Homo-oligomer: A and B are copies of this chain.
């Protein structure tokens, strides 16, 4: 039967079942959807038709109710969904609630509370250090191996995949210039990242230990942290990135639950420095994820960043984020920072791929250093699933348009 005959190799088969929010063409009504192959299941309507108790979590205009329901509910709902799409007896009932992906609009699936961006790839941090501080004895700052460096970004400009990105304007000043000039950014970049979505809040003054990561984090998405390198370079001392980042951050429409990624868990790289107890994951379950990212520029793959090479895990990031007593809210989003592997073809930003513009990328449509108007960037990824399957992480896509 059409929605169910997903091929065995499909990365969105019944072993995946990511969550999103959609509306049908011509309607403004948003509701939670589950992806199966090239279809979306209207999960709330399906729950109602099957008399499921989860209708209260799924017949909703966002994932927020499900996110806040907690780990046991997440597992129970996933088990129910798996049964719906795999037990033949449900098929006839469910067919009317499947819609082809091509006939729906996908929306930002949850309300972003606070957005934090980390800097967790050692390869990325070292590349940035070598580019901007070529004479430094160490390409890493002294704190880098002791804590996952992070900062708060702008939650209100997180947009869903497919949203055009208006080229930002701002101040920039080359080292030799007497004064800054104003205009559209001329060094517009991408950062290929993975974002983690917090479901369960925490109380002020109550840090979330490494062992409680899975009690709070529901799932992950792909994320493109668009970056205007020229604006960032002039503004960021001493309080960090601001307008160079805040114009837009794109996320994939599908949130993959951590429960779908059990087979992708891996140990993080060997730790080269002793860690303070709240970050020491030597005795914890593996905190890394083997996610294989791919970056395409105007349809041509330019990089394949391996997430398993990230030095700091998402669990360590969450433990650090809360160790000062900061509380979590449902919808908090924290991102990994640019994913870059050791190889030249594994770098997650144009800054690194072109070595700050020195080595342009040769593409069929012409070479590139940074992004030009009309360029479209697409991040995709997959992870190993059960029995040799692949778990697809969807995509985050965005096109650069000039300011009107």
Contacts and interface: CB of A to CB of B under 8 A. Distances in A.
A309 to B, nearest CB: 20
B170 A242 contact: no
A122 interface: no
A151 B152 contact: yes
Contacts of A239: 119, 149-151, 236, 240-241
A204 B113 contact: no
Chain A interface secondary structure, helix, strand, loop or mixed?
loop
Interface stretch (A32-40, A153-161, A368-376): A153-161
Contact of A325 (B141, B324, B403): B403
Number of copies: 2
A141 B238 CA distance: 8
A154 B114 contact: yes
Interface string A214-236: 00000000000000100100111
How many residues of A sit at the interface, in one of the four size bands? 35 or more
A231 B324 contact: yes
Contacts of A179: 146, 274
A169 B323 CA distance: 7
A147 interface: yes
Given A180-B146, A182-B278, A156 B327 contact: yes
A242 B156 contact: no
Interface in A343-380: none
Interface stretch (A53-61, A243-251, A282-290): A243-251
A404 interface: yes
B143 A234 contact: yes
Given A143-B173, A146-B171, A154-B326, 5 more contacts: A149-B235, A156-B327, A168-B325, A181-B276, A325-B403
7 contacts: A119-B239, A147-B234, A150-B242, A154-B326, A170-B324, A182-B277, A244-B324
